[in-house]
Structures are given as C-alpha cells and as structure tokens.
Amino acid sequence: MKIIVSAKWIAFLEDLLKANSKPVILYALGFEAPEAFFVGYFAQCSDQCTSDSEFQEGKDELTGINSSALGIGGYNRQQEPSEGSAARANGPELPDENSLYSRARQLLRLLPGGIDICGIMLVSCGVETTAWESSAIRVAKRLRKLRDRHVMLKNDASLLTKHLFIATVCDSLENFNSQLISFVNKDVQAHPGPALAVQDILWCSLQTKVAVNVSSSCGGSVFGVDFLRRFVDLVDPYGQRFLNSHVLVDGRLPSDHKSIYLSNLMHRENGLVVPLQAKFLLSSSDERMIAELEYNDVTCARMRLTGVLAIRAFVPSVCTIEEGVTALRKDVLRTLYIRGELHYEERLVTGAENEANSYRGLPRRVFASLGSPGECFDVCEYIMHDEDLSFLQNEVGDFFRADMDPSNVELNAEPLMTVQEDVFPSSPQSVNTFSLCERIFGYNVSYLIQGTLSLCDEVSPKTFRILALAFVPLILFWLFGLLRMPKY
C-alpha cells in the first residue's frame, strides 16, 4: 500500500520541520482504498489536551459492556504498560496515550462518510522515536476499536477497520518511516510501512437524505442506564437494510459499480465541482422495521426513532462508485451511533431522567467546509436547536488550524431527530399484539386500537354492560333497514 498525500500538504510538513520546535503529533485524515491511503488533511493533536476520565478504555465507555458484544475484537489491556509508564516512554513533550485516544474520539465525530483517521504521524527534529512508536501501536489498537464501534453491525466484517499506519518524519521528508498495522479478527500485525507519494487529490462528494422511522419493544425504561445498548439494537437491523439496498447515483443505477469510476460522473458548474446526488432504494416494508423482543414480568415499552438524516461522503475521484456507496452506508451508521452516544453522555452529565411516553430530541447535524469543493472535504458537528456555533469554531481552529465563518455553516441540512418512549403497563402479550396490529394497519391505527383496548380494561363490568345495551337499539335499527331493502 501507498500513503498518497495531497501536494498542498508538503509545504506544511516542511514548515513544521524548519521551525525546529517541539515534536508535533498529527492525525492523518483521509480515505482507505484497497491499495492506498488517500490523505486529504492533517489534524493536529494539541500538546495541551488532556484525557477524558469519564470515558476511558477498558469496557465500552458508555454501555459498560465488553466491546465484543458489538462484534468488535478486543485486546488485553492488562498486558500493556500503565498510563504513567506510557507517559514516561513518550517523554514530557508528547501527550500520553489516553490523551491521544480522547482527541481521536472527539475528532471522529467531526468527520463525514468516507473520511477516517487513517494514521498517526510524529513530526520531530532529532527526537528518539522508538518509544513513541510502541506507544502509537497501542493507540492504533484502541483507535481501531473506536472506529469499528461506530459501524455497530454485529455480523458484517466488510465495514470494519482493516489497516492503520503510524509514521515518523525526522529532520526532513526524506526520513519518512512508517509501519502498516493490519487487523485480522483479533490479531494485530505490524509490517514495514508504505511509501510516501505526492499527488493532487480530487475529492468527490456524494449526498443524500434518509428518512428514519424505526421502533422496537423492550423491557423497562427506554431512557435507562443501558440506553446506548438498546439504541444500537434498534438501529442495527435498520443499518443492515441499507447494506442490502440498491443506490441511485446522479439519477442512474449503474449495472456494475465496481468498474465505473466516480470521475466519469463528476462535472463542474461555474468552475466548481458539483456534488453527486444519491438515493437509497428502500421498499415500503424497509421503511418500518420492528424488532420484537419478549420480556417477562417487567413493564414493557416501545422505543421509537424518527427523523431525517443528512448523509454525506467524500471519496477520491479515482475510486469506484461501489466504494463511494459503501462510504455513504457507513455514514448512516456512524451518524446514528454518534447521536445515541451524545444523548447518553448528556444524561451522564446532567443526570436528567425522562418521563414515560415522552419525546427526547437528538442533536441535528450541521456542516462546514474546509475548502473549495473538490479540493477538500466538509466537517460536521451535532448541535441542538438552541446552541451557538462558538464551540464548532474552536474545534475547527484547534484541529484544522482554520478560521471558520459562521455564515458558511450549513445549518438547515436536517431537523432534530426524536426518540419516543411508549410504556405499556400491561403484559408482554399486549406488546406483541400491538406489533401485529402495526404491521397490518400501520402505526397510527394500531396505536388507536391499543388505546381503545387500554380504555376497555379500565372500564368496570357494570359500565361496560350499560354501554353495550345503549348500542342495542342502533343495531336493531340497522338490521331492520337491511330487511326492508328492495330486492332486484
């Protein structure tokens, strides 16, 4: 494999080396193709960053469960050096492993589909890098788990991380050394790394919008301590449908996505590259998916997620349509997981509890461009309707060393999503009946039937007999009318 870096970044790397300052750690952001990494941006890890003690590695930071439950192979953390020894190995001038992981976790939330953290690079002048490389390999293992967690799908290995790289640049770009980290199941292997290549990269943007309307039954409260686990169980079958669906690209359904390159579909207007519009072809049965789970001797509830997703992916123009479509599908999974993760983090911080049968808004996605279309990709952030953009400006300035104009932020890409909890204090059988009615009549009619049945349960037998007798004259009048109808 090769590491292909956009030509405009060579001057940036040379300036870092000429400054002869303290070492700098960069995250290489780009697209991983079968034979190369296409690096379109270098995000900087500030030496002032600190680790987030609330969400440290070990078990899953949010659910408290083993990552293997989400189809992610782990590694034995106990066999690695402690945080203190890692910090000493890195030296006083470099962030420790937990800080690097925390920053990567924050950075991944800013990235659109197709763009990932492909590698970690140390740029230094005359600094011993052997100890840092060992530390970087451990960070790469944790980064792999973090990326794969966003995919969520338990039985699909095609979307999981296959490679990452770590690299060092000492004194000059001629002293570029890298290692390729390969992940096969739970095995991690380090090989002599790919060579550095320089060329212009033209980024193709694919965009679409997806309507979300999914629900499932569960035991206990939806907004409990295991919210994220239930959220993943809810959207997992929904994401699986996207993997098996056909996709229109620019209004066409190519017969062979593997042999058609995106450059053949791209065009310009007024000198700017125009994004390609995509559309997922989902049947009506795919738009509402019900995961029926049975729980005994507990209060039953229904978790319902509704909204519209703004999906974007950025892929080099030399890639095929199939690779672009895969990037779109991964973006659907990533943006859903991040919203559930943000909601859970907010609950941990505020301790707010939700009442039964309530709605809860999830953050909406906004986009900001880092450059002209085709030359670079967009970044995104998740905000509520009453939040300002000052924190997004700070993140763009901190990671990407760029000034963001708030007027250029696309605020109306999508509305807020909602999570609804419907509680059924009756038996689990009533939830199964509700699921059957929903499948036959639709959500609104089935909800009306469920409400009517619940009302009948609350009416006393004597009152029910009185109501039944009141309808007897109406029924007799209707039968008498049928008998008097003329016969032809």
Q: Is residue 448 part of a domain?
A: no
Q: Among the listed ranges 24-28, 68-72, 464-468, which one has the minimum average pLDDT value?
A: 68-72
The answer to whether residues 185 and 237 belong to one domain is no
Distances in Å between the Cα of 221 and the Cα atoms of 154, 358, 426 are: 24, 11, 14
Q: Which range has highest mean pLDDT (7-21, 238-252, 327-341, 380-394)? A: 327-341
**pLDDT of amino acid 292:** 40
Q: Which of 170, 199, 228 is the C-terminal boundary of a domain? A: 199
As a whole number of Å, the end-to-end CA separation of the chain is 84
Q: Rounded to two decimals, what is the model's pTM?
A: 0.76
Question: Between 263 and 69, where is the model more confident?
Answer: 263
Question: Between 288 and 209, where is the model more confident?
Answer: 209
Secondary structure E strands in 317-395: 359-362, 364-369, 378-383
The answer to whether residues 25 and 114 belong to one domain is yes
**pLDDT of amino acid 96:** 83
**pLDDT of amino acid 29:** 95
Does 431 have pLDDT greater than 60?
A: no
Question: Between 463 and 390, where is the model more confident?
Answer: 390
Q: Which of 151, 168, 199 is the C-terminal boundary of a domain? A: 199
Q: Is residue 467 part of a domain?
A: no
Does 61 have pLDDT greater than 50?
A: no
Q: Is residue 400 part of a domain?
A: yes
Work out how many domains the chain is built from and give that number.
2
**pLDDT of amino acid 68:** 33
Does 51 have pLDDT greater than 50?
A: no
The answer to whether residues 193 and 214 belong to one domain is no
The answer to whether residues 414 and 284 belong to one domain is yes
Does 173 have pLDDT greater than 80?
A: yes
Domain that holds residue 362: 203-422
Cα 392 off chain centre by: 18
**pLDDT of amino acid 181:** 92
331 with 112: CB under 8 angstroms?
Answer: yes
Q: Is residue 443 part of a domain?
A: no
Q: Which range has highest mean pLDDT (38-42, 227-231, 257-261, 297-301)? A: 38-42
Q: Is residue 67 part of a domain?
A: yes
**pLDDT of amino acid 56:** 43
The answer to whether residues 265 and 282 belong to one domain is yes
Q: Is residue 252 part of a domain?
A: yes
**pLDDT of amino acid 404:** 78
The answer to whether residues 192 and 278 belong to one domain is no
**pLDDT of amino acid 345:** 86
303 with 421: CB under 8 angstroms?
Answer: yes
Question: CA nearest 433: which of 452, 420, 416?
Answer: 452
Q: Which range has highest mean pLDDT (42-56, 100-114, 277-291, 400-414)? A: 100-114
**pLDDT of amino acid 389:** 79
Q: Which of 422, 440, 457 is the C-terminal boundary of a domain? A: 422
Q: Is residue 167 part of a domain?
A: yes
Residue percentage of the chain with pLDDT more than 70: 70
The answer to whether residues 160 and 176 belong to one domain is yes
Question: Between 180 and 433, where is the model more confident?
Answer: 180
Residue percentage of the chain with pLDDT more than 90: 19
The answer to whether residues 299 and 404 belong to one domain is yes
Distances in Å between the Cα of 182 and the Cα atoms of 71, 147, 186, 244 are: 18, 14, 10, 27
Phi, psi torsion values for 332, nearest 5 degrees: -60, -45
In sequence order, the 6+-apart residues with CB closer than 8 A to the CB of 335 are 309, 311, 365
Please provide the DSSP assignment of 413-455 as one string.
Answer: S---EEEEEEEE-S-HHHHHHHHHHHHHH-HHHHHHHHHHHHH
Q: CATH number of the domain at 149, please.
A: 3.40.140
The answer to whether residues 36 and 73 belong to one domain is yes
210, burial (CB in 10 Å: exposed 0-12, middle 13-18, buried 19+): buried
Q: Is residue 468 part of a domain?
A: no
pLDDT per residue as tens digits for the range 85-144: 444 444 446 778 888 999 999 999 999 999 999 999 998 876 667 778 888 889 999 999
The answer to whether residues 55 and 150 belong to one domain is yes
pLDDT bin (cut points 50, 70, 90) of residue 463 is low
pLDDT per residue as tens digits for the range 236-293: 888 888 777 888 888 877 666 667 888 888 888 887 888 999 988 865 434 444 434 3
Q: How far apart are CA 438 and CA 440, in angstroms?
A: 5
The answer to whether residues 214 and 175 belong to one domain is no
Give the pLDDT mean for 56-77.
Answer: 35
Give the pLDDT mean for 337-360.
Answer: 75
The answer to whether residues 75 and 193 belong to one domain is yes
Question: Between 333 and 469, where is the model more confident?
Answer: 333
